[in-house]
Structure 1
């Protein structure tokens, strides 16, 4: 009889334990996007409320996360990863365009993703601010990655002779700060403009950060 017993496969309802856990995590993050990004916001959300929104139990929540801050951190990383993938794909697609058009195409792709869902803006630029040292460190680390992304593209443009060879890190930091600041201020209602107007203003500002000194508007 022993030889006829089936060995456990680790599958339930056709899915493995890893697949079920990934699905639970996805549902918790989707609930976090809705509650943090649409309302009532991160600070007013409880673990019980998040579990209910995800259609799961508090016990399952604590199997996936230790705290709500873990959810916010994971969601912030997920959204930034997706934005980075969009920007990288747009860069590859625009590789044959002139420098100014290439830069604009990449930023518009990034902006389209970030602003395509108002919940993303709130999580990425407002809910993450002031939570605590851990989130501040993560936010600044992500900002540094975007600075590195811009600097890498500036270095490539300089090697092609499209812009003057110099250290563009300060310019990149200034532009990323402008993006974060303006989108944050718009999201909390401090900017009297439409979202399209905000994006257009950032698009107009972008070339100035990569413009060769002493030659306004002309690549060297």
Structure 2
């Protein structure tokens, strides 16, 4: 290389190739959120329609994703990540709180994050269901992650004498399934209730799991 020659920076318009690619990916995800969650839905959206919505070419689409299912999977992951961060942040603010207070804070933070944009909840609880074996595996893995969080809280309550001492593995999985089913039906308009009423009902269900008939608090 000749003395004084410079290595190419890969910059165009003041941005690196990586920055431009990240922007394209974000534009495709934003378009997916609008079309899958607020427009015709995942199954009625084509690659060309998504690209038109994002203002990008199909060539640019295939540089980021192999197919539309990957866009849906990425959105599902993001929506759950945001909701988990909200719930964990709520729990972190009350480390010494009782199980009812901690559960109420976590449920409210989770539900508020998931439902703050109707498009998010439609994608997470409606559009993602039954798409493919791969996406079903991702959906069930995410439910399993929520069940682990739930199991940790249930065990914590039992240790503190706020709940019955027993194996909560099945109960945690069943409860998360109930949460998903309830939010799915609520999103679909099958349940006429406010978000506060939904959270209150979840709390009643949780206390029933933690404190069966005849249970007494430890002294």
Q: What is the TM-score when the length of structure 2 is the normalising length?
A: 0.92
Partner of 1:97: 97
Kindly provide the CA deviation profile for residues 31-60 of structure 1, in whole angstroms up to 9, marking residues without a partner as x: 111111111100001111111111211111
Partner of 1:209: 209
Kindly provide the CA deviation profile for residues 106-151 of structure 1, in whole angstroms up to 9, marking residues without a partner as x: 1111111011111111000000111111111111111111001100
Distance in 2 separating the partners of 1:76 and 1:11: 32
Change (3 A) 1:199 1:155: closer
Moved more, 97-106 or 136-145: 97-106
In the alignment, is the contact (CA less than 8 A) between 2:100 and 2:203 conserved in 1? no
Q: What is the TM-score when the length of structure 1 is the normalising length?
A: 0.91
Moved more, 181-190 or 87-96: 181-190
Moved more, 94-103 or 75-84: 94-103
Q: SS of 1:12's equivalent?
A: coil
Distance in 2 separating the partners of 1:166 and 1:157: 11
Distance in 2 separating the partners of 1:201 and 1:93: 23
Q: SS of 1:164's equivalent?
A: coil
Change (3 A) 1:201 1:161: closer
Q: SS of 1:42's equivalent?
A: coil
**Structure 1 residue runs without a partner (length 5+):** none
The number of residues matched between the two structures is: 218
Moved more, 118-127 or 46-55: 46-55
Distance in 2 separating the partners of 1:159 and 1:194: 33
Distance in 1 separating the partners of 2:217 and 2:129: 37
Change (3 A) 1:104 1:198: closer
Structure 1 residue 192: Cα displacement: 3.2
- The aligned runs of 1:106-125 (5 Å cut-off) are 106-125=106-125
**Structure 2 residue runs without a partner (length 5+):** none
